[in-house]
Amino acid sequence: KKKGFIFDLDGVIVDTAKYHYLAWKKIADSLNIEFTHEHNELLKGVSRVRSLDIILELGDVQTTQEQKELWLVQKNEEYLSYLVDMDESEILPGVLPVLNYLKENKQFIALGSASKNARPILEKTGILSYFDAIVDGNDVSNAKPDPEVFLIAAKLLNTSPSEAIVFEDSVAGVQAANIANMTSIGIGDDTILYEAQHNFKDFTFIGTPFLSELIEK
């Protein structure tokens, strides 16, 4: 059977979640807004614009659209500075074996990310060619937990939502997959991602028996 496997990017394929956090932390610190790792969970999977609004809400900061635009540019420049030397060593453990297994078994693979920086990251890490479709922050207007990004990805892969499987590290992304009626697989802490249908600490815990079961189901 041919299923559609949709991967989130940040925190699933590459460990960029830590860079997003550091870049937002710098903005938050400059505004004297307390911004912890716990707060950061709310931002995972969420668009850049929405992330800034959440941080400003945390600090009860009201400001102009112009000022917001400046902070958004500043955040992205800081974030991009962490990506300059990025290469395949930043691919998270276990990801390549899973991608290879899916390719060998002729499955469809898509990216479903909120990030506008997704393509350069796939290029830098050398894994662009694995993807039959790429849907990122430039293609969607509704941020996760809205299922738009995954629904577009499934459509491009020619698979129905019920034949699609989503790998996600964010609460918003797991919710989006569930709303889309796709199989949701949480990657990370299962006490945070408890809404996912399956959960693995990381990809090294996903064995080929589990993958072949998903394909045959």
Q: Catalogue the active-site residues.
A: 8, 10
25 binds, among ligand BG6, Mg ion, none (CB under 5 to 8 A by kind): none
Smallest separation, CB 11 to ligand BG6 (Å)? 6
Query: Tokens 């922050």 — which residue?
Result: 137
Shortest Å, Cβ 16 to Mg ion: 8
Of the residues 6, 13, 33, 43, which one makes contact with ligand BG6 according to CB under 6 A: 43
- Two tokens at 78? 């800081």
Segment near Mg ion (CB under 5 A); pick from 37-45, 55-63, 94-102, 151-159: 37-45
Q: 4 CB contacts (<8 Å, ≥6 apart)?
A: 107, 108, 109, 110, 153, 154, 157, 158, 159, 163, 164, 165
Q: Assess 114 for contact with ligand BG6 (CB under 6 A).
A: yes
Query: Considering the rule CB under 6 A, would residue 183 count as an interface residue with ligand BG6?
Result: no
Query: Smallest distance from the beta carbon of 193 to Mg ion, in angstroms?
Result: 11
53 by DSSP, 3-state: which?
Answer: helix
* Structure tokens given for 56: 């400003």
Least spacing, CB of residue 212 vs ligand BG6, in Å: 28
Report the C-alpha gap between 156 and 169 in whole angstroms. 22
Taking CB under 5 A as the rule, does residue 10 contact Mg ion?
Answer: yes
The verdict on 112 binding ligand BG6 (CB under 6 A) reads: no
Options 117, 125, 175, 199; binder of ligand BG6; rule CB under 6 A: 117
- Told to check if 45 binds ligand BG6 by CB under 6 A, we report yes
| DSSP state string for 86-113 | --GGGBPTTHHHHHHHHHHTT-EEEEE-
Token pair 């550091």 in the structure block, residue: 22
Site string for ligand BG6, 127-156 (x = CB under 6 A): ----------x-------------------
Peptide bond into 93 cis (omega under 30): no
148 interface partner picked from Mg ion, ligand BG6, none, CB below 5 to 8 A per type = none
Q: Which stretch binds ligand BG6 (CB under 6 A): 41-49, 123-131, 157-165, 209-217?
A: 41-49
Question: What are the backbone angles phi and psi of residue 10, rounded to the nearest 5°?
Answer: -65, 120
3-state secondary structure of 35: coil
- Applying CB under 5 A, does 161 fall inside the site for Mg ion? no
Cβ contact 19:79 at 8 Å: yes
170-183: buried (b, 16+ CB within 10 Å) or exposed (e) per residue? bbbbbbbbbbbebb
Q: Which residues of this chain interact with ligand BG6, rule CB under 6 A?
A: 9-10, 20, 43-48, 51, 76, 113-117, 137, 170
